[in-house]
Amino acid sequence: MASSKNDNNESFVKYGGIVPLDSISEVVKVLKNRKVGVFEKVDGGNCQVSVSNFQIRLGTRAKFLKGKKTIERVPWFGRFVDWAHSNHSLYALPGNRIVFGEWLGNHSIEYNPEFIDKFFVIDVFDRDSRKFIPYEEARKEIISLGVEGVNFLDVLKFGRLSFKDFDLMLNKERSGYYSGPREGLVIKDYHSDPQEFWKILHPDFAEKREGVFGGLNVDYLTSFRFMKAFHRLLDRGKSSVTLTGLVDEVRRDIRKERGFNYTREKVIESYKTLSASEEMDKIRKFFGR
Residues 276 and 248 in one domain: yes
**Per-residue model confidence as pLDDT tens digits over 60-71:** 988 999 998 888
Per DSSP, the three-state class of 227 is helix
* Strand spans (E) along the chain: 3-4, 13-14, 19-20, 36-40, 44-52, 55-59, 97-104, 119-126, 131-132, 151-152, 155-159, 184-189, 196-201, 208-212, 215-219
d(CA 178, CA 182): 9
| Residue 110 zone, left/alpha/beta (φ > 0; ψ -120 to 50; rest) | beta
Residues 213 and 194 in one domain: no
Residues 108 and 126 in one domain: yes
Query: What is the number of H-type helices and E-type strands within the chain?
Result: 9, 15
Residues 212 and 197 in one domain: no
Q: What percent of the chain has pLDDT over 90?
A: 59
Q: What is the CATH number of the domain that holds 105?
A: 3.30.470.30
The pLDDT value recorded for residue 238 is 60
Residue 133: domain span? 3-201
Residues 30 and 151 in one domain: yes
The pLDDT value recorded for residue 260 is 83
Residues 188 and 213 in one domain: no
How many structural domains does the chain have? 2
Q: Is the pLDDT of residue 210 over 60?
A: no
Residue ending a domain, among 175, 201, 227, is 201
Residues 156 and 264 in one domain: no
Residues 154 and 268 in one domain: no
Residues 163 and 28 in one domain: yes
d(CA 168, CA 182): 11
**Per-residue model confidence as pLDDT tens digits over 128-177:** 999 999 999 999 999 999 999 999 999 999 999 999 999 999 999 999 99
Distance of CA 39 to the CA centre of its chain: 12
d(CA 122, CA 155): 11
Residues 38 and 166 in one domain: yes
